[in-house]
A and B are shown apart, each in its own frame.
Chain A
Amino acid sequence: MEWETVIGLEIHAQLSTKSKLFSGSSIEYGQEPNTQANIVDLAMPGVLPVLNTEAVRMAAMFGLAIGAPIGKGNVFARKNYFYPDLPQGYQISQFDKPIVELGYLDISLENGETKRIGVTRAHLEQDAGKSLHKDYAGMTGIDLNRSGTPLLEIVSEPDMRSAKEAVAYMKKIHELVQYLGINDGNLQEGSFRCDANVSVRPKGQKEYGTRAELKNINSFRFVERAINLEVERQIDLIEDGGEVVQETRLYDPDKHETRSMRSKEEANDYRYFPDPDLLPVEITDEFLESVRAALPELPQVKYQRFLDEYALSEYDAGVLTASRPVADYFEAVAKASGEAKLSANWVIGELSSHLNNNDLAITESPVTAEMLTSLIQRIADKTISGKIAKEVFQGLWAGEGKHADEIIESKGLKQITDSGAIEAMIDDIIANNTAQVEQYRSGKDKVFGFFVGQVMKASRGKANPAQVNEILKDKLKET
């Protein structure tokens, strides 16, 4: 039988606010346990939550970016359950009235087509603290630094049909939230987390199969692997006459397996109800307008603008707009140098490969946009050739100078454009390589490359290639 996979994702994106969703504590990562937990985070008796409006603004930004209506009277609800790292005994979340309602996102498939994925909703909620089991023999430590950190939970429709589509969607959300500046995109530190709801059904069947929820898949690679693994497990199970049960499964990347955490029967009854400590969040038109006005340019719009404004190829525009820091870097160089195509080539080529090899983000690049601009200007005004430019780039990367001119100067890499000097070199080479001259003149055009190479060698790469070509052709014709 042919099977169809159905996937929906729940993404938890930590919002880049300064303080927690309902308290003034900092949300900075990696601090000493419980140094960022105040009386609200500790759920001391009588203390009350006060909503961080910055988190509301960020959630609204996300909603506008996916074309979703913003809940004008969205409501915080309590999700009740007991756990030591949940001090209130309930998580403040949103239930039937989320801040972001139905929106969508377009993803690009491998065959070049675009697919629209529905985003059911996105809501604000508090993160829990952490239980520390390792350091205390026979006991559990509780770290409440993370308790109350604002999360935006982004729930997709079950619109994805393969692990690859799921990854493409996850990457798209990842790119978007960073574009909006509402999430730092850090998967290792858990500021961007993903759960997947996976089911299979015979191709052509309308009803969904029973789904399993996969937890702990916190990298793009794991998402793909875990989903494929789960799909295989479900198909095998059904084909062997078994039945998929609704349950939560944990993905173990070390053993490359998923295992059951709890079944539907064991699931909590969370007893959601509107939090009486918080009023419904009134979103005014003025507020929404101010959010809209401050919205950064979104990836799709930027892509189109790069095509129009810089005459880039679709490929280049796609690569350069995949992340906002890369787009910003490119645009800074392109604007300052006035050489869009050249800037695109250098950012996508030399710069990206250096960054990849050194595992650096573009924001950490030792070659700043100003430095790359200086290099591109020298290529454009023919001070150096493209080949020499790589050597200059290397110098900039290694910190040997802050401007291309410094490297060109210190290494003596300035291009030779004096045609007299180039002619003299060429005359020499022609005189010393009579056999090759004969070959060329008898019609072996390929030998031309040999002469170019000789000139470059003689000039230590500094001769202007265009001039070399021109003069060589001229001289070789002479009899």
Chain B
Amino acid sequence: MINKTLAELSSSLKAGEFSSVELTQYFLDRITKHDADLNSFITVTEEQALAGAKNADEQIASGSSGALTGIPIAYKDLFCTDGIRTSCASKMLDNFIAPYNATAVEKLTEAGMPMLGKTNMDEFAMGSSNENSFYGAVKNPWDLERVPGGSSGGSAAAVCAKLAPVALGTDTGGSIRQPASLTGITGIKPTYGRVSRFGMIAYASSLDQGGVFASNAEDCALVLGMMSGFDAKDSTSVDRDVPDFSAALNDSIQGLKIGVPKEFFGEGLDSGIDKVIQEALEEYKKLGAEIVEISLPNTHLAIPSYYVIAPAEASSNLSRFDGVRYGYRCEDPVDLTDMYMRSRGEGFGTEVKRRIMTGTYALSAGYYDAYYLKAQKIRRLISNDFKQAFEKVDVIMGPVSPETAFKIGEKTDDPISMYLADIYTLSLNLAGLPGMSIPAGEANNMPVGLQIIGNYFEEGKMLNIAHQFQQVTDYHKRVPTQFGEEK
């Protein structure tokens, strides 16, 4: 069961080999059995999952089902779900139940996907290790002492350990690609504006984008296609047709020009990872692609620029969590200021407070020009780097992360070293480009992802390129022994 693609699961459901209720129960049972080890879910919604599955079975029986009807899914716990707690892994929202669905959730629910639950994450999506959660760290299924990456670590771990066939995440600076890489699964962050941000609790509005984790590119294509599209409730969503991402999967990539930025292979890159990436590029050559060395000269500016813009937006986005209307409020405030200070002081975790302070500083009078405005200028330079690169090549490839999954607690006291590991992922968010991570091998006995960067709105081409790789490799089929199929 766990090795089937979504298309195969759908065929089995339609053929009556098993029902959606059975399929959903199967994954619920796996969650019950394994999640104590992983901590990948904050909330498991058994009741809603089974009710959704029952509905799906009726649709299948009546012949009105679609490609995803009856296939269960998990959502990162920042996608608002009507009537189900959405915590953002924060004490601040531990008691928060939204009376509305995020648009992505709404679309996938419409498509008949039962919801298994809400997955763990770094608090307010701030982090690269999933250690910053009010509900505790998530473990990497390949080594329970190691992090799964973040911030969408719960979704990545759940899909990696086959606790869910597919899950949604969000990517502000690499929060889909990096955990996909660290857990050896496929993850895609589409072009900014492709997926509605409505109902996705904002971290940094100009960078946040929802995307998909699955076992392979083919599965990602199905789900991404279903959740994409213009949404009148999100002014930054793009009014543009969504192509059938599955249609081009099998296209030949003969003659494909792959750009490899030299800046992605400098100091700091783990040599084992370097080797995996070179081997993957060799594989692409065999498939008929041409490798072209390119330069993205402003790559080194991505980290300082991102760590000004994202916290600046976050400092403002998180102002609404003030203890007045919903969420955490401190005990017995003596006055308004006390209520604000203690509600926010007690409700937010360390990393969130660090970024709010950084962002507040960057936007302050006298510093705005030197930080925020300069960061925005760098952002344009970074976009221009990519623009020029895409005049020469069809796609860009490189590592996702300079290192494989590290041990839990290893970097807790050194936030800067954690930030530096985002070097290869941040620039895409700053440019608004789509990117994905596909499993390409192992280093240090841990999975390594290959990053595929496409031009704007070329998710279809990226998925095609990823799928072709997955036709000739089997990294995406590997499952940690502990989480293998029950006999």
Contact = CB atoms under 8 A, between A and B. Distances in A.
A50 B233 contact: yes
A88 B316 CA distance: 8
Contacts of A140: 336
Contacts of A87: 320, 324-325
B90 to A, nearest CB: 10
Interface in B360-389: 360, 363-365, 368, 372
A306 to B, nearest CB: 44
B235 A51 contact: yes
B205 A276 contact: yes
A241 to B, nearest CB: 32
Given A273-B368, A276-B204, A78 B316 contact: yes
A82 B322 CA distance: 8
Interface of B is mostly: loop
A214 to B, nearest CB: 24
B325 A80 contact: no
Interface in B273-322: 312-313, 315-316, 318-322
A88 to B, nearest CB: 5
A44 B327 CA distance: 10
Nearest to B100: A39
A14 B161 CA distance: 56
Contacts, number: 104
B199 A47 contact: yes
A45 to B, nearest CB: 4
Contacts of A80: 315-316, 319, 363
B100 A44 contact: yes
A214 B410 CA distance: 57
B247 to A, nearest CB: 30
B448 to A, nearest CB: 33
A48 B235 contact: yes
A425 interface: no
B86 A48 contact: no
A133 to B, nearest CB: 12
Nearest to B88: A45
Interface in A185-208: none
B37 interface: no
A118 interface: no
A82 B368 CA distance: 20
Interface string B225-241: 00000001111100000
Nearest to B207: A276
Identify the interface centre among A48, A78, A84: most chain B CB within 10 Å of its CB: A48
A406 interface: no
A271 interface: yes
Contacts of A46: 78-80, 86, 98, 102, 197-202
Contacts of B198: 46-48
Interface in A85-99: 87-90
A49 B235 contact: yes
A45 B235 contact: no
A278 interface: yes
Contacts of B206: 276
Contacts of B80: 45-46
Contacts of A43: 320, 325
Nearest to B337: A82
A136 B164 CA distance: 49
Interface string B182-223: 000000000000000111111011100000000000000000
A142 interface: yes
A90 B205 contact: no
Contacts of A78: 316
A308 interface: no
B365 to A, nearest CB: 5
Interface residues of A, number: 29
Interface residues of B, number: 45
A90 B319 contact: yes
B419 interface: no
Given A39-B99, A42-B325, A50 B235 contact: yes
B18 interface: no
Contact of B235 (A42, A89, A277): A277
Contact of B340 (A42, A44, A82, A269): A82
Contacts of B234: 48, 50
Contacts of A47: 100, 198-199, 233
Interface string A50-83: 1100000000000000000000000000101010
Interface string B318-341: 111110111000000000100010
A467 to B, nearest CB: 73
B49 to A, nearest CB: 22
Contact of B197 (A44, A48, A89, A90): A48
Interface string A7-45: 000000000000000000000000000000001001111
Interface in B144-203: 197-202
A89 B93 contact: no
Interface in A128-144: 140, 142
A271 B197 CA distance: 24
A421 interface: no
Nearest to B93: A45
Nearest to A50: B235
A86 to B, nearest CB: 9
B320 A45 contact: yes
A237 interface: no
A87 B324 CA distance: 8
Given A43-B325, A48-B197, A276-B313, A89 B204 contact: no
Contacts of B406: none
B201 A45 contact: yes
A348 interface: no
Contact of A142 (B99, B324, B360): B324
B26 interface: no
A142 B322 CA distance: 14
A250 to B, nearest CB: 19
Given A44-B98, A48-B197, A271 B316 contact: yes
A84 B365 contact: no
24 contacts: A43-B325, A45-B93, A46-B78, A46-B79, A46-B80, A46-B98, A46-B102, A46-B202, A47-B100, A47-B198, A48-B197, A48-B234, A50-B234, A50-B235, A80-B316, A82-B319, A84-B336, A87-B324, A89-B322, A90-B319, A271-B363, A273-B368, A276-B205, A277-B205
Interface of A: 39, 42-51, 78, 80, 82, 84, 87-90, 140, 142, 269, 271-273, 276-279
| 6 interchain residue pairs of minimum CB distance | A89-B319, A276-B206, A276-B205, A271-B363, A43-B320, A45-B201
